[in-house]
Amino acid sequence: MKTFQKTMIALFLIVALLGTTALASAQGPTTTPPGAGTPPEHTRGDDGTVWINTDIITIMANGEVPMFHFWFAVDDDGANAKFQTSFVMIAEFEDLNADGGFQTGEELYFAPLSAYEWTLTTGTIEEGGIVTEVWLKYTKSGVRTAPLADAAPAALEGTSDIMRFKDVTMQIWGHIYLEDYAGEVFDDHGSHANYTVAGRSELKIDIEIGNFPFSSEESMVTIQTLQREHLSEPQLNRHRIQTRERFRNTTLDSEMNWTTTGGNETRFESMNGTNVQSIDFIDYEAAIAQGFFSWLDTAVITWPGGAAEAVDVNATYIPTGEGVAVYLAYPHFDGGSILHDPSIGLYPEGAPTILGSIDPVLVTGIGAVALIAILVVLVRRK
């Protein structure tokens, strides 16, 4: 084969290889990304905000009130998928319809959690010199002297009773692990629930409430959370929210609002065969679940003297026009304290496709120009 022909074939293969490499880069990684298995790390900003980072998830914890933003680490500050979980309100209620959950109109007293001061602390756990867990903790203290202007308001009408709950003790922990974590809920009578926390993509949360001022022997406690996407224009309402339920799944649009009439909160029908219940954030266009809020259907009451009792946790939900309010309902625990485990997180397989830094059209164009230039030189040499 002549030298000219060999040169032509070699140049063609080079250009083809460059184009294929660029296209693969644009389509996203096909193998384990760099940094997989990297221990979680955390930083704190001047305003008290805490960031936790892994190769899968970035979590931003508000420094003044229990609220988390979370998005994929490969995404640019959550440009394609960013979610928010806020702990909004605490309330005492009577279960008038005996469904185990909370509905508007059943409340006795309530208060927005933003009415209180919160201290956010962080730490790590190491094994063999490697960070295996990063944790953070919100601790409730006294009544705030000035309200937070940007805090989500409690979803109930009327005057809240902030002073009634001023001495309630409340801690909200968050834990993110390097590896999958196997957990168990047990009391003095044995094991009642098992669950697994995904390493590097899920923040396990512990809610602990004590010293609650119950006004009757039958009343219950609810914590209102708000689950929403948190994208800026023009990408508002990019996700739908889907509940996973026993008999059927329910899909909710972010713009829905059922709060105009009291008592519209729907009881969540727990899935059979699992102790973990959840709602998912699903991308409208790709129809892929990307983020979630989940909770165990079992909590543990610690009574005076130290006896532990596992109890059922029921949940109700209602779309508010900005997201979905999820009410976690706890049974009466006068004189004791209760501990419950929800979670937030991402499905790694739902990560958005991010264009690589190499433009395939540009690379192919450069290769073509180079090929033409070389051909011109070869022709002149003949």
| Of 335 and 243, more confident | 335
Q: Are residues 250 and 282 in the same domain?
A: yes
The count of structural domains within the chain is 2
Does 290 fall in a domain? Answer: yes
- Residue 60 in tokens: 């931003």
Domain coverage including residue 142: 45-349
Does 10 fall in a domain? Answer: yes
Does 36 fall in a domain? Answer: no
Q: Are residues 195 and 285 in the same domain?
A: yes
- Residue 16 in tokens: 């083809």
| Of 34 and 333, more confident | 333
Beta strands 220-229 and 82-93 are: antiparallel
The answer to whether 224 and 327 are in contact (CB under 8 A) is: yes
Question: What is the pTM for the complete model shown?
Answer: 0.84
- Residue 133 in tokens: 């867990």
284-307 mean pLDDT:
95
Does 34 fall in a domain? Answer: no
User: Could you tell me what percentage of the chain is helix, strand and coil, using 3-state DSSP and rounding each to the nearest 5?
Assistant: 15, 45, 40
Instruction: Name residue 73's amino acid.
Output: A
Beta strand extents in 230-341 (DSSP E only): 239-243, 250-253, 266-267, 276-283, 289-296, 298-302, 308-312, 314-319, 324-330, 337-340
- Specify the DSSP element, H or E, that contains 103: none
The Cα–Cα gap between 328 and 341 comes to 11
47-73, pLDDT tens digit by residue? 999 999 999 999 999 999 999 999 999
126-184, pLDDT tens digit by residue? 999 999 999 999 999 999 988 787 787 787 888 889 999 999 999 999 999 999 999 99
Q: Are residues 99 and 196 in the same domain?
A: yes
Q: Are residues 273 and 146 in the same domain?
A: yes
The Cα–Cα gap between 318 and 332 comes to 23
308-353, pLDDT tens digit by residue? 999 999 999 999 888 899 999 999 999 999 999 999 999 999 998 8
Angstrom distances, CA of residue 221 to CA of 82, 199, 343: 30, 31, 19
- Residue 319 in tokens: 């779309």
Q: Are residues 135 and 213 in the same domain?
A: yes
Instruction: Return the percentage of the chain with pLDDT > 90, whole number.
Output: 63
The Cα–Cα gap between 271 and 344 comes to 18
Q: Are residues 50 and 25 in the same domain?
A: no
Does 40 fall in a domain? Answer: no
Angle at 41 between CA 36 and CA 44, to 5 degrees: 150
The pLDDT of residue 2 is 53
Angstrom distances, CA of residue 366 to CA of 7, 11, 14, 45, 371: 18, 12, 12, 43, 9
Q: Are residues 117 and 8 in the same domain?
A: no
Q: Are residues 50 and 22 in the same domain?
A: no
